[in-house]
Chain A
Amino acid sequence: DAKTTQPNSMESNEEEPVHLPCNHSTISGTDYIHWYRQLPSQGPEYVIHGLTSNVNNRMASLAIAEDRKSSTLILHRATLRDAAVYYCILRDGGGAGSYQLTFGKGTKLSVIP
Chain B
Amino acid sequence: KAGVTQTPRYLIKTRGQQVTLSCSPISGHRSVSWYQQTPGQGLQFLFEYFSETQRNKGNFPGRFSGRQFSNSRSEMNVSTLELGDSALYLCASSLDNYQETQYFGPGTRLLVL
- B-contacting residues of A (Cβ < 8 Å)? 32, 41-46, 49, 87, 91, 93, 96, 98-106
Closest to A99 in B: B56
Q: Are A104 and B98 in contact (CB under 8 A)?
A: no
Q: Which residues of chain B are near A32, meaning CB under 8 Å?
A: 99
Q: Are A93 and B56 in contact (CB under 8 A)?
A: no
Q: Which residues of chain A are near B56, meaning CB under 8 Å?
A: 96, 99-100
A-B contact pairs, 14 of them (CB 8 A): A41-B106, A42-B106, A43-B4, A44-B102, A98-B97, A99-B31, A99-B48, A99-B56, A100-B45, A100-B56, A100-B58, A101-B35, A102-B45, A105-B42
Give Cα distance in the complex from A103 to B92, angstroms.
14
Q: Are A101 and B42 in contact (CB under 8 A)?
A: no
A8 smallest CB distance to B (angstroms): 12
Give Cα distance in the complex from A96 to B99, angstroms.
11
A63 smallest CB distance to B (angstroms): 20
A54 smallest CB distance to B (angstroms): 19
Q: Are A45 and B58 in contact (CB under 8 A)?
A: no
Secondary structure at chain B's binding surface: helix, strand, loop or mixed?
strand
Chain A CB within 8 A of B63 CB: no
Chain A CB within 8 A of B43 CB: yes
Q: Are B102 and A46 in contact (CB under 8 A)?
A: yes
Q: Are B106 and A99 in contact (CB under 8 A)?
A: no
A45 smallest CB distance to B (angstroms): 7
| Residue among B44, B48, B58, B104 with most chain A CB within 10 A | B104
Closest to A32 in B: B99
Closest to B107 in A: A43
Q: Which residues of chain B are near A42, meaning CB under 8 Å?
A: 104, 106
